[in-house]
Structure 1
């Protein structure tokens, strides 16, 4: 991937980057595809209910590595060439309005870590997440 087309820093310090993966598919019609990526460094604060957060962090790092990525793709088909920039901007703004409040909620980094750990750990929950 190249450089992000937009970067936003959330109130809780998370950085969300937007990457353009768009392509032209017929004549002057395009598929606008934006990959949204939020990379979080694993920290012991992600394990508030663990008896030993440092040990839990080491255990999860063995499965996931040092980072957890929240990745989503947003798409729109049939966009005329002249409307590409406006559509990209609207898609990013719409994603920000609908998803940033969720990503800024307390405890979300820990929940995202838990979800990713469950995916990579074969569905087994590696630690308890506060509700």
Structure 2
């Protein structure tokens, strides 16, 4: 099992974990690939109605995962670690403030719940744009 290379505790009580899936692919070149995840428990506070939380847990389980991949191809061996640090720095500079907001977990859980619920309502064979 891959262990996180870094973990950022967030001000809202969540934690961002970074996993490194970098691999060598040709000659002196690497594919630097980082996966950033944040597990968000589904709480009663995320919903106005207890029935909505129960429905969300039935569809999503007890938690949802925010997951992003950042990557760069063609990285020479000597540049792998600086590239990893740059990708982490870019993500934390731009996205960490958003992930750290007090309302992030509620908004993300509700959005995932609505996305999955809408997908389940579509008829079999449904293609977006084909219903016109």
For normalisation by structure 1, the TM-score amounts to: 0.85
**Separation (CA, whole Å) in 1 of partners of 2:111 and 2:22:** 28
**Separation (CA, whole Å) in 1 of partners of 2:99 and 2:46:** 14
**Separation (CA, whole Å) in 2 of partners of 1:39 and 1:93:** 20
- 1:59 is aligned to 55
CA contact under 8 A between 2:11 and 2:101: conserved in structure 1?
no
- 1:127 is aligned to none
Shift in Å at residue 64 of structure 1?
0.4
Shift in Å at residue 123 of structure 1?
4.5
Please, which runs of 5 or more residues in structure 1 have no aligned partner? 125-131
**Separation (CA, whole Å) in 1 of partners of 2:56 and 2:35:** 26
Name which of structure 1's ranges 12-21 and 106-115 shifts more when overlaid on structure 2.
106-115
**Separation (CA, whole Å) in 2 of partners of 1:82 and 1:67:** 39
Point out the structure with max Rg over C-alpha: 2
- 1:10 is aligned to 10
1:75-102 Cα distance to aligned partner (Å, 9 max, x none): 1111111111111111111100000111
- Pick the aligned partner of 1:107 from 98, 103, 106: 103
**Separation (CA, whole Å) in 1 of partners of 2:119 and 2:57:** 16
Aligned with 2:118: secondary structure? coil
Aligned with 1:117: secondary structure? helix
Please, which runs of 5 or more residues in structure 2 have no aligned partner? 121-132
Aligned residues between the structures: 120
